[in-house]
């Protein structure tokens, strides 16, 4: 379970993200007791308004319909919240940082610093303070969405949107400290890859991908915005967006990555690792389930590795990214497949969902109440495979001889014609051919 991230050894890949759970030494100790290999302190700051914002925090946990969750959160929860940086002045953290780091070290874990300042001297002084307290690493918070909403504050995601500014802040911090510096990226812009490249050139040892988006949520029953207006938004729904940047940074820049934003359980941690992250930050799920959920995540990762035969986390890092197409032209060159329906397990005519979603007219229902596959039209898109509730469809590779028999293949340099009819996947045809609706087979 142990990994090396930017020269620091972690006993497992699960660390606690910088949020309310790390705004208290006692809470961090609870996380270490629960098995966390690291905890990133809630961002230390000299910006008074960002500390005040934390004291005015608002949280909202919603389901996929946008309704408030009362009780146990579902996997697809949405965490909508507004919070600032640490509510304790960074200098006042010094004795607690030393004591908490010592507590963590006794358990084979680490306290990781986090910095967010109002000017470059503040960035450097906070990071030097973190290093002087014995912390092995510091994260620069270029990803927080909230400073942009604070009058007169220029930090967080505002820095993370400008490669030149991000480079300069990172460069000066890296020259001021000897511990590894990682940079937390923001998705609130179009160029996270450019920011990652810039901070790497400035001396950053790695990046965190990626912080929360800025959102706006409406309560349609009252016509009011949730929690008063724009806020940070995360939760498991955002995981594919986060993984996009983990994958691209891993493949295109090869930087060490701390994954973040979208974790519910151990399966999500594994996804981040297979996309290219070495360690994974757990945050909002602890806000809605409590620290007791943490051991379940860690134990789940270990059980998964045992079940699948992975001898180390390193074997999984970037596994899926390496197997991914680099661009769509690679997808074009892959061997074609076609659908095959198992008539023994297929529930047609009671079920016909595969026909309804096949917009290539490759599936139809015959009068005997079973599914026909029209291989001349089946492009192998796999949608029918995904929607079949009875696992009755599989995709088989199309052999060269089958192309000669009329199986679908892409003609080079020729646009398709006659793709406008719906002879098979319209409800009139399905009903006409269905014993479910007709006592006698259709003629």
The residues assigned a catalytic role are 144
For 31-58, give one letter per residue: b (16+ CB within 10 A) or e. Answer: bbebbbbbbbbbbbbbbebbbebbeeee
Which is nearest to 226 in space by CA: 343, 72, 78, 24? 78
- Give the Cα separation of 189 and 142 in Å (integer): 12
User: How is 350-368 classified by DSSP, letter by letter?
Assistant: T--HHHHT-TTS-EEE-TT
Q: Are 288 and 313 in contact (CB under 8 A)?
A: no
Q: Are 114 and 138 in contact (CB under 8 A)?
A: yes
CA dihedral 172, 176, 181, 185 (to 10 degrees): -30
Specify burial of residue 27 (Cβ count, 10 A radius: 0-12, 13-18, 19+): middle
- Give the Cα separation of 316 and 310 in Å (integer): 7
For 385-420, give one letter per residue: b (16+ CB within 10 A) or e. Answer: beebeeebbebeebeeebeeeebbeeeeeeeeeeee
The 3-class SS string of 137-153 reads CEEEECCCCCHHHCCCC
- Give the Cα separation of 127 and 110 in Å (integer): 16
For 129-154, give one letter per residue: b (16+ CB within 10 A) or e. Answer: bbbebebbbbbbbbbbbbbbebeebe
Q: Are 371 and 341 in contact (CB under 8 A)?
A: yes
Sheet-wide strand order for 213-215: 58-62, 78-82, 231-235, 213-215
């Amino acid at each position: 379970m142990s990994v090396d991230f930017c020269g620091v050894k972690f006993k497992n890949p699960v660390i606690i993200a910088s949020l309310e759970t790390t705004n208290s030494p006692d809470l961090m100790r609870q996380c270490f007791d629960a098995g966390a290999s690291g905890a990133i302190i809630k961002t230390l700051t000299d910006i008074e308004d960002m500390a005040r914002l934390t004291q005015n925090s608002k949280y909202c946990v919603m389901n996929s319909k946008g309704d408030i969750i009362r009780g146990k959160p579902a996997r697809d929860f949405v965490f909508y919240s507004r919070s600032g940086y640490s509510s304790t002045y960074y200098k006042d953290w010094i004795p607690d940082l030393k004591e908490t780091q010592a507590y963590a070290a006794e358990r084979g874990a680490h306290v990781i610093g986090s910095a967010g300042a109002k000017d470059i001297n503040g960035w450097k002084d906070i990071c030097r303070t973190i290093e002087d307290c014995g912390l092995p690493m510091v994260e620069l918070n270029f990803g927080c969405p909230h400073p942009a909403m604070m009058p007169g504050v220029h930090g967080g995601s505002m820095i993370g949107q400008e490669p030149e500014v991000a480079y300069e802040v990172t460069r000066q911090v890296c020259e001021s400290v000897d511990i590894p510096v990682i940079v937390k990226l923001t998705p609130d812009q179009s160029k996270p890859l450019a920011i990652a490249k810039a901070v790497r050139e400035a001396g950053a040892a790695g990046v965190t991908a990626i912080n929360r988006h800025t959102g706006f949520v409406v309560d349609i029953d009252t016509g009011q915005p949730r929690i008063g207006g724009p806020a940070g938004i995360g939760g498991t729904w955002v995981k594919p967006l986060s993984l996009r940047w983990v994958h691209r940074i891993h493949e295109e820049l090869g930087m060490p990555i701390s994954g973040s934003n979208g974790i519910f359980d151990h399966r999500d941690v594994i996804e981040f690792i297979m996309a290219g992250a070495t360690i994974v930050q757990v945050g909002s799920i602890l806000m809605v389930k409590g620290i007791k959920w943490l051991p379940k995540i860690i134990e789940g990762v270990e059980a998964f590795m045992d079940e699948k035969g992975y001898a180390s986390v390193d074997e999984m890092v970037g596994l899926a990214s390496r197997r991914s197409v680099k661009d769509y032209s690679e997808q074009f060159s892959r061997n074609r497949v076609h659908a095959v329906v198992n008539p023994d397990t297929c529930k047609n005519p009671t079920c016909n969902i595969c026909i309804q979603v096949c917009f290539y007219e490759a599936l139809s229902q015959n009068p005997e109440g079973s599914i026909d596959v029209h291989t001349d039209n089946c492009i192998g898109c796999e949608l029918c495979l995904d929607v079949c509730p009875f696992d009755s469809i599989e995709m088989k590779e199309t052999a060269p001889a089958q192309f000669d028999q009329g199986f679908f293949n892409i003609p080079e340099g020729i646009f398709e014609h006659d793709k406008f009819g719906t002879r098979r996947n319209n409800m009139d045809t399905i009903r006409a051919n269905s014993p479910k609706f007709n006592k006698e087979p259709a003629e």
